[in-house]
Every structure is written in structure tokens, then in C-alpha cells.
């Protein structure tokens, strides 16, 4: 019994001593505890610090991303032309083509290519069917134009990339019927100065030069109404296809001696008056005006020096 009491007394004494030793060393234990807690919280503190230092745009992009004008922001590639599509107005911003002599003409008697363009008179006589208008599935369904948008309207379907530019290529000719290449035009517009300009490009510029680059597109110019300058245009169908007020063509001519010449035109989207004498030179427009109206910069990456600007030659004409 006395042994048990002595053991209990010893245990009590040891416990009291340990308690006293612990109370006498608070400064030795507390830093270690604080250091362990800090190491556990350090990743969260560092992450919070990084978020505070990160630019707001980077935080938004990482968390939810930015809105885009379309799911397909890059230009749309086709076999012989490329299109930048305007998802808001349901028409192209611009259509770029590269035209060369061998795509139009046959000088070799052994060349057995046949004119397959269905819009050609000879091809129509052979019974070749015209390709149908079709959508581009790369464009989101919200932003596509449809042929039905043009029904019961006073406008026709106009083409920026002309199928007559691809007489020997059935695939390229058919691709011109894609709805991303279509714009609303006033009846008779394609038979006036615009048609003359297309013929001038094919029959003169392409024949006499190494190659020709053609950029075509719509323009929306303001008009004056009751003393106010307003932007007014018609909108077609459920797809809400916008009707441009003007069209432009920017033509870069690569001559056989390696020089570049520039011709830029702007034409109103209207039918020419009967008996009106049309001169293409009347539609020559400074490139800066087209850039201002379209919101485009045609040569952003490098300075292009032209030996001729709108059929005028001079040392300063290359400055755009």
C-alpha cells in the first residue's frame, strides 16, 4: 500500500515539474507553432497576392474569357479567295482575290481545259447547272445570312468574288455561291459601272500584267437628312442582313517588271440612270477615304511603295 502511495506521489511530482518547465518556456514553443501555421497558410497567401498583382484583363481572361465577335474570328479560306466576314451585318467585311493570266486564258493549243463556269453562255448552252447558294458552317447559326432573307425584298444577291474569275475551275466557281460572299445589291447595280470595272480587271489588267490582287467589300456612308447627318440603311429578313450604301474595290497591280500600281474605286449601291455615260475614272477614290469609311487599314504590316496611284505617277504618290 505504501508502495502505491509513493508511486502516485512520484508521478504527481513529475507532472508538476513538467507543467512548470512548460510554463517557463513559452517563447521557445510559440515561434515553432507560428512557423508551422504560416507554412500551411503560405500557398493561399501567395495565390491571393498574385491575384492582387495580376492585371484585371488577365484575371477576366483566365476566369471567364473575353466575348468574341464570332466563333470564327480568322478570315475564311476558300480555294481561290479569302473572306473576312462581318457577323453583325451578315455580309463580308472584304473579299480578297489573286487573279493571274493563266486562270483566264489558254495560249497553248494542247491546253484541254474547258470553260465550266455555269454563268458563261457556252456553258449554259451545254446544260451545266448553276451552283446553289449555300451557307458556310464555320459561321455560327446566329450570324448566318440565308437566301430567304432576300425573298420579298427589292434587293438582289450580289457576289463580291465574281464566278467569272474562275472559268476553268468548277470548285472555285461553286465556292463563290457561299453566303459569306453575298451582299444585297440594288437591281441593275451589277450591270452598271461595277460590271464594267470587273471586265476592266479581267480583260485589261490581268492580260497586261503579271498578276492582280483585288480586295472588294461594302461600305456604310452617312447621309444628310433634315440637316442632320445620319447612318441609315435597310435590313433584310429574319437574319437582319444590312444593305450597304456603297462598295469599294482596291486593286494592286503587279507589273512584269516587279513594280506595284494601285487603283481604288468606290461606287454607290444604286442603278445607273438610263443613257448615262459611265466613266470608270469618275469612281477613282483616294485609298484614305476608303479606309476611313470602312475602318480598314489595307497595308498595316509593311510600307508598300507604288509607282502609280490611281493612274497618276509621281515620287510622293506611294505615301498612303
Q: How many CB atoms lie within 10 A of CB 242?
A: 20
Q: What is the dihedral of CA 266, 271, 273, 276, to 10 degrees?
A: 40
With a CB cutoff of 8 Å and minimum separation 6, the contacts of 290 are: 219, 248, 250, 264, 266, 296, 298
pLDDT more than 70, % of the chain: 75
Q: Are 230 and 111 in contact (CB under 8 A)?
A: no
pLDDT at 126: 59
Confidence tier at 316 by pLDDT (50, 70, 90): low
Q: Average pLDDT, stretch 191-199?
A: 93
pLDDT at 69: 67
| Phi, then psi, of 78 in degrees rounded to 5 | -125, 180
pLDDT at 30: 55
DSSP string, 114-134: ----TTSHHHHHTTPPPPPPB
Q: Average pLDDT, stretch 151-156?
A: 94
pLDDT at 134: 93
CA distance 180 to 123: 25
What's the mean pLDDT when you consider all of the chain? 82
Where are the domains positioned within the chain?
2-63, 76-313
Residue 118 has pLDDT above 50, yes or no: yes
Higher pLDDT, 130 or 284: 284
Q: Average pLDDT, stretch 32-42?
A: 54
Q: Average pLDDT, stretch 24-38?
A: 52
pLDDT at 50: 57
pLDDT at 13: 54
Q: Is 97 exposed, middle or buried (0-12, 13-18, 19+ CB in 10 A)?
A: buried
What does the block give as the cell for 166? 474562275
pLDDT tens, residue by residue, 203-245: 999 999 999 999 999 999 998 888 889 889 999 999 999 999 9
pLDDT at 246: 97
Q: Average pLDDT, stretch 74-89?
A: 93
CA distance 179 to 148: 11
Higher pLDDT, 106 or 52: 106
pLDDT at 131: 78
- List of E strands, 78-188: 81-86, 91-100, 156-159, 182-185
With a CB cutoff of 8 Å and minimum separation 6, the contacts of 318 are: 304, 305, 306, 307, 309
pLDDT at 169: 85
Instruction: Tell me the pTM.
Output: 0.77
Q: Is 307 helix (H, G, I), strand (E, B) or coil?
A: coil
23 vs 33, 35, 64, CA distance in Å? 15, 20, 54
With a CB cutoff of 8 Å and minimum separation 6, the contacts of 234 are: 155, 184, 242, 243
CATH H superfamily, domain 76-313: Extracellular Endonuclease, subunit A (3.40.570.10)
Q: Average pLDDT, stretch 19-24?
A: 50
Residue 36 has pLDDT above 60, yes or no: no
pLDDT at 266: 97
Q: Average pLDDT, stretch 184-204?
A: 94
Amino acid at each position: 500500500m505504501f508502495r502505491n502511495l509513493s508511486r502516485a506521489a512520484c508521478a504527481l511530482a513529475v507532472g508538476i515539474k513538467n507543467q512548470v518547465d512548460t510554463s517557463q518556456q513559452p517563447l521557445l514553443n510559440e515561434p515553432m507553432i507560428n512557423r508551422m501555421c504560416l507554412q500551411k497558410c503560405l500557398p493561399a497567401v501567395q495565390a491571393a497576392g498574385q491575384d492582387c498583382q495580376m492585371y484585371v484583363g488577365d484575371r477576366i481572361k483566365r476566369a471567364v474569357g473575353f466575348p468574341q465577335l464570332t466563333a470564327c474570328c480568322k478570315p475564311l479560306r476558300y480555294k481561290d479567295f479569302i473572306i473576312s466576314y462581318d457577323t453583325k451585318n451578315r455580309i463580308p467585311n472584304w473579299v480578297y482575290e489573286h487573279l493571274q493570266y493563266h486562270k483566264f486564258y489558254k495560249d497553248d493549243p494542247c491546253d484541254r481545259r474547258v470553260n465550266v463556269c455555269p454563268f458563261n453562255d457556252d456553258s449554259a448552252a451545254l446544260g451545266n447547272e448553276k451552283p446553289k447558294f449555300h451557307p458556310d458552317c464555320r459561321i455560327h447559326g446566329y450570324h448566318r445570312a440565308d437566301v430567304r432573307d432576300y425573298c420579298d425584298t427589292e434587293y438582289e444577291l450580289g457576289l463580291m468574288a465574281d464566278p467569272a474569275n474562275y472559268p476553268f475551275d468548277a470548285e472555285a466557281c461553286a465556292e463563290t455561291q457561299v453566303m459569306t460572299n453575298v451582299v444585297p445589291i440594288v437591281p441593275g447595280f451589277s450591270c452598271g459601272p461595277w460590271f464594267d470595272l470587273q471586265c476592266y480587271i479581267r480583260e485589261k489588267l490581268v492580260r497586261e500584267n503579271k498578276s492582280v490582287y483585288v480586295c472588294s467589300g461594302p461600305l456604310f456612308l452617312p447621309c444628310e437628312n433634315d440637316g442632320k447627318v445620319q447612318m441609315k440603311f435597310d435590313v433584310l429578313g429574319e437574319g437582319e442582313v444590312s444593305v450597304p450604301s456603297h462598295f469599294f474595290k482596291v486593286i494592286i497591280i503587279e507589273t512584269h517588271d516587279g513594280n506595284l500600281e494601285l487603283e481604288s474605286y468606290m461606287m454607290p449601291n444604286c442603278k445607273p440612270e438610263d443613257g448615262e455615260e459611265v466613266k470608270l475614272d469618275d469612281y477613282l477614290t483616294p485609298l484614305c477615304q476608303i479606309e476611313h469609311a470602312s475602318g480598314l487599314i489595307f497595308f498595316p504590316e509593311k510600307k508598300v511603295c507604288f509607282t502609280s496611284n490611281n493612274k497618276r505617277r509621281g515620287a510622293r504618290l506611294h505615301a498612303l
